[in-house]
Amino acid sequence: MRTKSVKKNKINVITLGCSKNVYDSEVLMGQLKANGKDVTHEATKNEGNIIVINTCGFIDNAKEESINTILDFVEAKNRGEVEKVFVTGCL
């Protein structure tokens, strides 16, 4: 699998939904940074080769946004723009 102009081993955390998810993402990013990982938040697809999507399953608009975001990043992975897509949260 090839990636196009993507910084290697940079983690892009995407946060969707409620303020609890914002907090959870901040905790996750803090843990990743404490372990020496290069982390960005809410960046474009070109900002990282590892994507973590923190989803929301309680707010209707956020459910739809979560599903669309997951599908968008899976398509980006299939095109070789990102290497890994992880989904977490309550969806």
In tens, the pLDDT along 17-50 reads 888 999 999 999 999 999 999 999 987 666 889 9
Residue 19 in domain: yes
Instruction: Examine residue 1 and state whether it is found in any structural domain, yes or no.
Output: no
Domain range for residue 42? 10-89
Q: Which of 81, 78, 79, 68 is nearest to 14 (CA)?
A: 68
Domain of residue 75, CATH code: 3.40.50.12160
Q: Is 90 exposed, middle or buried (0-12, 13-18, 19+ CB in 10 A)?
A: middle
Residue 66 belongs to a domain:
yes
| pTM of the model as a whole | 0.86
Averaged pLDDT of the chain = 88
**How many residues in the chain?**
91
Q: Is 16 part of a structural domain of the chain?
A: yes
